[in-house]
Amino acid sequence: MPEEVKRERSRSGCMADLSESLTAADIAVLKRLNSAGEAWVVGGWVRDALAGITADEVDMATTLRPSEVAKLFPRTVMIGEAFVTILVLPDEKSNSAQDEPSWEVTTLRSEGTYGDGRRPDEVEFGEDIREDLARRDFTINAMALDSESGEVIDPFGGREDLAAGVVRAVGDAVERMSEDGLRIMRAFRFLSGGTLGYRRLDSDLSAAIRENVAMLDKVSAERKWAELSKILQRQNTNRILAEMDSHGVLAKVLPETILRLEVNFSGTARVDLAILCSN
């Protein structure tokens, strides 16, 4: 596997075989996983590639258990032992660790209840990619690419919602938002479609956010800031913040603060937070 990989993603045709947009290193990781089990590209890479946007991070899901994944690659890091995720690194160490590619490989899962409003009480290994996709937050994130066949597995209409510019919850919106308070913040982050323009919240999701906004109290300040910083660095920041404010989200994220929503932001998160909170 190459030590350094410059990820140049194809921006051509949304309906083309997405596997053609994977790098040689991506395919090598997938082939090694498929040699011992089954593996798919999942999440944001599939969403962005379908939209014709350059996607840098390639996350994968597999039927293999974490210990089996670790045996296949000489360099791995367990980054979420409780949540069965392993960071796979190139076989040979790069001279520049900063430029070194990596792949998050997660064992298929089926999750139960979320007692603390942030993480599942229990995680069970799964065997079905569609069951794994069913536990995800939004339809545009609940798609998977079979790199061998080129098939996009899309059981919840994510491709249609992507084309329509809609952020919609997988399944019951109230249930999805009540499981994990951070999903409320993520919903607003995905309103920015980059060069494709502004997306809108599905009406059921909008209502579910208003109903479950108190779930944000269970999310740490660090995690809320991480999501807010991503929003501040995206296009349509003012419009997204206005939506968050109208849903009561900003009052939970930045309580007892008079906010300036109609200002010009710099695109630098910490600077823009200061601008947002100054009056």
**Domain locations in the chain as residue ranges:** 1-164, 171-279
Mean pLDDT, rounded, for 73-81: 85
Mean pLDDT, rounded, for 203-219: 96
* Pairing relationship of beta strands 144-145 and 109-111 according to DSSP bridges: unpaired
Question: Which of 202, 201, 179, 203 is closest to 191 using CA atoms?
Answer: 201
Mean pLDDT, rounded, for 167-187: 95
DSSP 96: -
Distance CA(23)–CA(8), nearest Å, equals 8
For 254, phi then psi, to 5°, come to -125, 70
Question: Given 1.10.3090.10, 3.40.1590.10, 3.30.2130.10, 2.102.10.10, which CATH number is that of 171-279?
Answer: 1.10.3090.10
Q: In this model, does residue 264 exceed pLDDT 50?
A: yes
Question: Which of 188, 1, 186 is closest to 90 using CA atoms?
Answer: 1
Read off the pLDDT band of 193 (50, 70, 90).
confident
Q: In this model, does residue 123 exceed pLDDT 80?
A: no
Q: What is the CATH number of domain 1-164?
A: 3.30.460.10
For 217, phi then psi, to 5°, come to -65, -20
Distance CA(268)–CA(262), nearest Å, equals 17
Structure confidence at residue 200 (pLDDT): 96
pTM for the predicted model, two decimal places: 0.84
Structure confidence at residue 195 (pLDDT): 74
Structure confidence at residue 9 (pLDDT): 33
Distance CA(259)–CA(261), nearest Å, equals 6
Count CB-CB contacts under 10 A for residue 171: 14
Q: In this model, does residue 107 exceed pLDDT 60?
A: yes
* SS3 state of residue 41: strand
Q: Which is higher by pLDDT, 9 or 243?
A: 243
Mean pLDDT, rounded, for 205-213: 97
Question: Which of 119, 149, 116 is closest to 135 using CA atoms?
Answer: 119
Read off the pLDDT band of 259 (50, 70, 90).
confident
Cα atoms in the 13 Å half-sphere on the side-chain side of 234: 24
Distance CA(47)–CA(14), nearest Å, equals 10
Distance CA(76)–CA(72), nearest Å, equals 9
∠2-43-208 over CA atoms, to 5°?
A: 160
Question: Which of 146, 144, 193, 196 is closest to 170 using CA atoms?
Answer: 144
Q: In this model, does residue 129 exceed pLDDT 90?
A: yes
Q: In this model, does residue 223 exceed pLDDT 70?
A: yes
For residues 275 and 247, is the Cβ–Cβ distance under 8 A? no
Structure confidence at residue 7 (pLDDT): 34
Structure confidence at residue 197 (pLDDT): 84
Q: In this model, does residue 104 exceed pLDDT 60?
A: yes
Question: Which of 195, 278, 247, 270 is closest to 261 using CA atoms?
Answer: 278
Distance CA(178)–CA(212), nearest Å, equals 6
Distance CA(176)–CA(62), nearest Å, equals 23
